[in-house]
Amino acid sequence: MSSPHFLDNEMFALLREDRIKEFNERMEAGETPPNLNGANLRGCDLRGLKTDGMDLGNAYLRGADLRGLDLRNTNLEGASIRKTQLSGTFFPDVLSSQEILMSQELGTRLRYDT
DSSP secondary structure letter of residue 67: T
Task: Give the per-residue pLDDT at 3.
Answer: 75
Q: Give the amino acid at 60.
A: Y
pLDDT band for 1, please (50, 70, 90 cuts): low
Task: Give the per-residue pLDDT at 37.
Answer: 95
Per domain, the residue ranges of the chain are 1-114
Task: Give the per-residue pLDDT at 100.
Answer: 97
Q: What is the pLDDT of residues 22-67, one digit of tens each?
A: 999 999 999 988 899 999 999 999 999 999 999 999 999 999 999 9
Closest by CA to 33, choosing from 75, 95, 3, is 75
> Do 42 and 54 meet the contact criterion of CB atoms below 8 Å apart?
no
Task: Give the per-residue pLDDT at 113.
Answer: 82
Q: What is the CATH code of the structural domain delimited by 1-114?
A: 2.160.20
Q: What is the pLDDT of residues 74-112, one digit of tens each?
A: 999 999 999 999 999 999 999 999 999 999 999 999 999
Summarize the confidence of residues 11-32 as an average pLDDT.
96
How many Cβ atoms sit within 10 Å of the Cβ of residue 10? 11
**What is the C-alpha separation between 35 and 41, in angstroms, rounded?**
12
Task: Give the per-residue pLDDT at 2.
Answer: 67
Contacts of 55 (CB under 8 A, 6+ apart): 35, 36, 37, 74, 75
